[in-house]
Amino acid sequence: MKPDKNQIESNLRLHVDRLAGLIGPRYLQKPKTIQATIGYIEGQWAGMGYRIAREHYDAIGDQATNLIVEQYGSKRAHEIILLGAHYDTVYSTPGADDNASAVAVLLEVSRLLREHQCKRTIRYVAFACEEPPYFNVDAMGSQYHARRARMRGDNIRGMLCLEMVGYYSTADHSQTVPPLIPKWMRRFFPHRGDFLAAVGNMLSWKLCWNFRRGFKRGARSMPLFSICLPEKINEIRLSDNSSFWDQGYPALMLTDTSFLRNPNYHRSTDTPDTLDYQRMTEVTIGVASALRFLAN
């Protein structure tokens, strides 16, 4: 049965409106917003029938919480495909694109796949504390989860990080390129911000290839730019995917490329009305298709 695009788009709008419109900036120093965000995400997952686990840890003196649900695999349950997104913001922004858009897609993908039985286990994680001052230190939610996963011996065969997936533009030169990309390579990069990027490090090439195959099965009309780059290109390490690379797991960042495209990055203007919900719907369908492909 084909996904109901109208229903997906309506749900995406609702999630972003509740997170970025009603709740607004979401950070630990404003605990009521974090509790409201946790309550919203848990309420959505509980309504789908998932059992939710809370992963509490210390974040520079405050308690932070990752939220986790799993669909256990039928034949290779010990092998895990993880889809994650951070739910916090910096204090200066309501965070519609960064990162309510990604949480919205996370929720809708988990809803679309709820009744599908896959061979591998699918783990969905809403991460705390991706933004400064927690980024790339032990208090980062994905750092905590990835370290514990490695300590437990979790067999994570691929991690997909949703990071800002809602802003698109068809204008010429609306897309910029990381400055460390060599000049000879730049002609191969898109210059219109109308695509989703799937970006891996060099060790994640196989995951990147298989993600593309799965994504295109579900969302053929949505432009996808997939590439693996050296980690010295710092822009590819600026989200939760880097936490899993640090533990030796293959991972991709799925993104609209953030500040390389979106002028509202970390500003008060990152509001729900700036997002393209039709393209977000295509992203949701494509990611669900890719996740199902990877989990089988």
Domain count, the chain: 1
Three-state SS string across 43-96, please?
HHHHHHCCCCEEEEEEECCEEEEEEEEEECCCCEEEEEEEEEEECCCCCCCCCH
CA separation, residue 131 to residues 30, 163, 241, 254, 270 (Å): 14, 12, 13, 17, 15
Q: Is the pLDDT of residue 57 over 80?
A: yes
For residues 118 and 52, is the Cβ–Cβ distance under 8 A?
A: no
For residues 184 and 236, is the Cβ–Cβ distance under 8 A?
A: no
Looking up residue 183, the CATH number of its domain turns out to be 3.40.630.10
Q: Looking at this protein, which amino acid is placed at residue 92? A: S
Q: According to the model, what pLDDT value does residue 258 have?
A: 98
Residue pLDDT, tens place only, 159-168: 999 999 999 9
Q: According to the model, what pLDDT value does residue 162 have?
A: 98
Q: According to the model, what pLDDT value does residue 74 have?
A: 96
The domain in which residue 149 lies consists of 5-294
Residue 2 binned pLDDT confidence (cut-offs 50, 70, 90): confident
Residue pLDDT, tens place only, 251-284: 999 999 999 999 999 999 999 999 999 999 999 9
Per-residue tokens: 90: 């910096």
Q: What is the mean pLDDT of the chain?
A: 97
Q: Could you identify the residue written with the tokens 């404003």?
A: 30
For residues 217 and 289, is the Cβ–Cβ distance under 8 A?
A: yes
Q: Is the pLDDT of residue 13 over 80?
A: yes
Q: According to the model, what pLDDT value does residue 1 have?
A: 74
